[in-house]
Amino acid sequence: MNFKVPRGTQDLLPGVTEKWQKVEEIIRELCHLYRYPEIRTPIFESTELYTRSVGDTTDIVQKEMYTFKDRGDRSLTLRPEGTAGVVRSYVEHKMFGQPDQPIKLSYLGPMFRYERQQAGRYRQFVQFGVEAIGSKDPAIDAEVISLAMNIYSKVGLQDVKLVINSLGDQEVRANHREALVNHFKPHIDEFCQDCQSRLEKNPLRILDCKVDHDHPLMATAPALTDYLNEESANYFDKVKQYLDVLGISYEVDPNLVRGLDYYNHTAFEIMSTSKGFGSITTLCGGGRYNGLVEEIGGPESPGIGFGMSIERLLLALEAEGKELNIEDQLDMYIVAMDEDAKLKAVELASSFRAKGISTELDYTDRKMKAQMKSADRKQATWVIVLGETELAEQQVAVKHMATGDQEKVPFFDLVEYLTKQKQKQMEEK
Ligand code: ATP
Ligand code: MG
């Protein structure tokens, strides 16, 4: 038998997981600063939650969901995105009743979409996202955008651009929709099957089509921004003002529409402009959803959020040739020459680790030379070799691998000696 990871999924092995952990650490730190505590919702939800909230004209609902019946004949779906579950939980736990609004939440975890596998597109991927529910202050739109931008800058990305648009409110969308239908209808047979069915159901999504992207009618399509009413235009202006205050530059793209149906007003994407990046350049997508909470059974509570995958963030880093600053130093390797020494080695390793000194030893009964080689490969800062003499003298030479310096230290003093050395090293850095 010859098993492989399922198509569109990947094993993350040591060497790579450190990068993930580093990115997650940066994200957690920023969530702490911006005050977006973590929420963890189930990986599957009832299917109806997604068909209702994500919108039944989206790619996600039409062709990408992993839907199954459980043994109780309930239809469940592996979450394809994070917002629906978070909003469900917001309503279920009546967070709208809490005194301090908006409720700010963040999530990080696997999402599942049955998609064609290609660079930057997986069937299981990890999304980080935030939601701020219970405010329609344009300043929170800017805050959410700035948090996303900050993540990319903290991990070291430089070739990143923010694209924003306003999708207006319901009135705006209705007028614009009519203009779109008039624009595309005479030539709709030149468009893909999906677009043909979008024309009646949700013509806005034609603008987001990946197949007909270069059709000349796309460039001349009526722009949402030309249809904004006063309220929507003011809102958009305010968001832009706040972005200016935050020193965040942006591009307005009147054809930017988001994949999900529930967005209104602010829509944004953050793209990689790095030459090394493939055809999929969107790192992060987000926007405002003012009707979603009601749709899911709560009171009117306007929200805004974004989702970004860690996979694409790491791809962008690679495209820019940037390395994360990862610290994973092995402090000590203990070489043991015989069984008695091994007993001491195990005891010492435990006392080192208890004091924060990372320690490795041999578990395959190798000769001293092989153990030394191992210490070398693992780039240990220090090595000690325990044998008969060391046990008799109750002391051992601590060898600093980089310099070759050695110092004899009594066993009882080892932990303190190493702790001090480590501190000194950190201060030097
Ligand atoms: P795309 O246009 O790339 O299909 P989308 O509109 O489907 O994106 P969203 O639903 O807005 O994407 O998801 C937000 C973010 O999640 C994307 O910007 C991207 O970072 C990430 N993402 C979406 N689908 C995948 C996937 N299949 N694999 C990896 N990351 C993904
Ligand atoms: Mg998609």
Neighbours of 378 (CB within 10 A): 12
Centre of ligand 2 from the C-alpha of residue 159, in Å: 22
**Ligand 1 pocket member 124 (CB < 6 A):** no
Is the beta carbon of 309 within 6 A of some atom in ligand 1?
A: yes
The answer, yes or no, to whether residue 279 has pLDDT greater than 80, is no
Residue nearest to atom 1 of ligand 1 (CA): 282
Per-residue pLDDT of 229-260, as tens digits, reads: 999 999 999 999 999 999 999 999 988 887 66
Query: Separation of 350 CA from ligand 2 center, angstroms?
Result: 49
Q: Who contacts 173 (Cβ-Cβ below 8 Å, separation ≥6)? A: 167, 204, 224, 264
User: What CA–CA distance (Å, rounded) separates 331 from 338?
Assistant: 22
Please state the pTM of the whole predicted model.
0.92
Q: Which two tokens stand for residue 135?
A: 């405010």
The pLDDT value given to residue 384 = 98
Is any atom of ligand 1 closer than 6 Å to the C-beta of 136? no
Average pLDDT over residues 161-179: 92
E strands within 47-198?
66-69, 75-78, 103-112, 124-133, 160-166
Please report the atom of ligand 1 found closest to the CA of residue 258.
Answer: 6
Alpha-helix residue ranges (DSSP H) falling in 246-379: 292-295, 310-320, 339-354, 368-377
Please provide the DSSP assignment of 97-121 as one string. GSSS-SEEEEEEEEEE-----BTTB
Flag whether pLDDT at 50 surpasses 90. Answer: yes
β-sheet with 303-309: strand ranges across: 103-112, 124-133, 303-309, 282-289, 264-272, 160-166, 251-252
Is there an atom of ligand 1 within 6 Å of 102 CB? no
Report the pLDDT value the prediction gives residue 255, as an integer from 0 to 100.
Answer: 82
How many angstroms separate the CA atoms of 150 and 157, rounded?
10
Of the listed ranges 181-185, 272-276, 390-394, 425-429, the least confidently predicted one is 425-429
121 Cβ inside 6 Å of ligand 1: yes
Pairing of strands 332-336, 382-386: parallel
Give SS3 for 51. Answer: helix
Paired tokens of 187: 């030539």
In terms of Cα–Cα distance, which of 54, 133, 50, 82 is closest to 300?
Answer: 133
Phi, psi dihedral angles at 310 (to 5 degrees)? -70, -35
pLDDT band at 28 (very low <50, low <70, confident <90, very high): very high
Q: Is the pLDDT of residue 47 over 80?
A: yes
Instruction: Give the pLDDT confidence score for residue 259 in this predicted structure.
Output: 60
pLDDT reading at 429 higher than 80: no
pLDDT tens-digit series, residues 309-336: 999 999 999 999 999 999 899 999 999 9
Percentage of the chain surpassing pLDDT 90?
82
Q: For residues 89-102, b (16+ Cβ closer than 10 Å) or e, as one string? A: bbbeeebbeeeeeb
User: Ligand 2 center to residue 126 CA distance, Å?
Assistant: 14
Nearest partner of 269 among 151, 166, 161, 147, judged by Cα: 161
Residue-wise pLDDT for 52-102, tens only, equals: 887 777 788 888 999 999 999 999 999 999 999 999 999 999 999 999 999
Inter-residue contact 82 to 129 (CB < 8 Å): yes
List for the chain the helix, strand, coil content (%; round to 5).
Answer: 45, 20, 35
Q: What is the 3-state secondary structure (H, E, C) of 372-425?
A: HHHHHHCCCCEEEEECHHHHHHCEEEEEECCCCCEEEEEHHHHHHHHHHHHHHH
CA of 152 to the centre of ligand 2 (A): 21
The order of strands in the sheet holding 359-361 is: 359-361, 332-336, 382-386, 395-400, 406-410
At 215 the pLDDT is 93
Atom 6 (ligand 1): residue with closest C-alpha? 259
Residue type, 34: Y
Integer Cα distance of 125 and 331 in angstroms: 34
Over residues 406-428, the pLDDT tens digits come to: 999 999 999 999 999 999 988 98
| CA-nearest residue, atom 24 of ligand 1 | 121
The pLDDT assigned to 261 comes to 64
Residue 212 has pLDDT above 80, yes or no: yes
Q: Which residue has the higher pLDDT, 426 or 128?
A: 128
In angstroms, the CA 285 to CA 308 distance is 7
User: Can you tell me which atom of ligand 1 is nearest the CA of 307?
Assistant: 14
What mean pLDDT do residues 177-196 have?
92
User: Model confidence over 340-388: pLDDT tens digits?
Assistant: 999 999 999 999 999 999 999 999 999 999 999 999 999 999 999 999 9
**Residue 404: predicted pLDDT:** 94
- Mean pLDDT score of the chain, rounded to an integer? 94
What pLDDT shows up at residue 260?
64
Q: Measure the CA–CA gap between 261 and 51, rounded to whole angstroms.
A: 11
